[in-house]
Amino acid sequence: MKLVAICAAALACLPVAALAQAAPASAPAAAAVAPTLDTPIEALVANPKSKAVLDADIPGLSTHEHYEMFKAMSLRAIQPMSNGKITEDMLKKVEADLAAIK
What's the CATH number where 37 sits? 1.10.3910
Q: Is residue 86 part of a domain?
A: yes
pTM here?
0.68
Domain that holds residue 101: 32-102
> What's the structural domain count of the chain?
1
At residue 96 the predicted structure's pLDDT band, cuts being 50, 70 and 90, is very high
Q: Is residue 5 part of a domain?
A: no
* 40-79 pLDDT, tens digit each: 999 999 999 999 999 999 999 999 999 999 999 999 999 9
Q: Is residue 63 part of a domain?
A: yes
* 6-27 pLDDT, tens digit each: 434 444 444 444 334 444 454 4
Q: Is residue 49 part of a domain?
A: yes
Q: Is residue 58 part of a domain?
A: yes
Which residues, 6+ apart, have CB-to-CB distance to 97 below 8 Å?
A: 53, 56, 57
Alpha carbon distance 67, 58 (integer Å): 13
Q: Is residue 45 part of a domain?
A: yes
